[in-house]
Amino acid sequence: MRKIFFTALVGAMMISCSRDNDDNGSVTNDTSILPTKITYSETYLKEAAVYTLSYNGNKLVKITDGRHDEIFTYTGDLITSINYTDKKFFVFNYDSNGNLISEKYVNYDSDKIKTSEYNITYAINGSTVTAQSVAKYYSQSDEVLSITSNITYTLDEKKRPIKKVVVYEKKDIINNITYRGTNTFTFQYPNHHGFSENIKGMDKLYYSYFAFGINRAKDLNYPVAYWVYLPFSYFKEEMYVTRLYPAGIPSPHGFATDEGKIEYVVNAHNYPTRIKYKFKSGSGEFESTINDGYYTIEYNK
């Protein structure tokens, strides 16, 4: 899990149902509006988790909870690295048009030993992005589990993903393929401002691993452990997987679906001040996540 900081789920709206890919209504955006404090609260959390954001102009410099820091580095107006206290880092590279073309993520344990690494390359062609991700997971015995994924994104006019298809293979430590699968995500977005949209360079990372923050929709049941910068109001994940026996013979196929929506409360400027995840249960109703967690956001104006 990507723990320690939750920097934000973007977007906002006051919903009982979601709207698809609309504009921001009649409210004119003040691009100087920036989030300055994010608080995560839940039923069984003794103390709320509070994160403070600091800036140089519209460039995000640091997020801190008082014990751990998250440092953002820019080249021009583009975010090129994010470093976390002792734990992990991201590195981003762009083409001459400012499109994200590669991303690296490395995670360490408390003893500063590497536990996982993602290397992702991107190619953008109009509203389609194709990517290849190679993920490696390291054990204490120097064994390596790898997952290779080919990913296709379909983008809207703001270069936000409205569909993400992940075709992957998992390999064991002796390089045998153990699983093959396809995960298909679809997203809808609210009709108002996203909470991080005025942070310089954040819009260039919408289809990044960093922005998604999760590998599966169900991960959002533990939202304090994840970052999700995408401002969606509804999502659906369809999962199809085949397990391969040692001889390479496929087992029966497995299929599952997860659905969720994000409920928002917005302020007079049309920015979210409260964010809450809900998931569709077996009864078909959308219910609160584990421990009934939610976020509140404060701004500089």
CATH of the domain at 289: 2.40.160.150
Asked whether residue 20 is domain-assigned, the answer is: no
- Sign of dihedral through CA atoms 237, 243, 244, 249? negative
Asked whether residue 229 is domain-assigned, the answer is: yes
Asked whether residue 11 is domain-assigned, the answer is: no
Asked whether residue 106 is domain-assigned, the answer is: yes
Does the pLDDT at position 110 exceed 60?
yes
40-87 tens-digit pLDDT: 888 777 788 899 999 999 999 999 988 889 999 999 999 999 999 878
pLDDT for residue 246: 62
Range 160-172 average pLDDT = 89
Distance CA 167, CA 132 (A): 10
Which residue intervals of the chain are DSSP H helices?
A: 209-212
Does the pLDDT at position 99 exceed 80?
yes
- Residue 55's H or E segment, with its range, is strand 49-56
Asked whether residue 175 is domain-assigned, the answer is: yes
Q: What percent of the chain has pLDDT over 90?
A: 47
Answering whether pTM is above 0.85, one says no
- Domain total of the chain: 1
Q: Which residue has the tokens 């909870």?
A: 65
Q: What percent of the chain has pLDDT over 70?
A: 81
Distance CA 267, CA 296 (A): 12
Range 134-145 average pLDDT = 82
Asked whether residue 14 is domain-assigned, the answer is: no
Compare 17 and 206 and report the one with higher pLDDT.
206
Mean pLDDT across the chain, nearest whole number? Answer: 83
Distance CA 81, CA 192 (A): 28
pLDDT for residue 225: 55
Range 208-230 average pLDDT = 67
Does the pLDDT at position 108 exceed 50?
yes
Asked whether residue 277 is domain-assigned, the answer is: yes
Tokens of 27: 């409210």
- Residue 63's H or E segment, with its range, is strand 59-64
Domain range for residue 88?
35-299
- Give the DSSP letter of residue 21: S
144 in Cβ contact with 124 (< 8 Å): no
Compare 15 and 220 and report the one with higher pLDDT.
220
pLDDT for residue 14: 28
pLDDT for residue 245: 62
Helices and strands, counts by H and E, the chain? 1, 17
Range 216-223 average pLDDT = 61
Asked whether residue 99 is domain-assigned, the answer is: yes
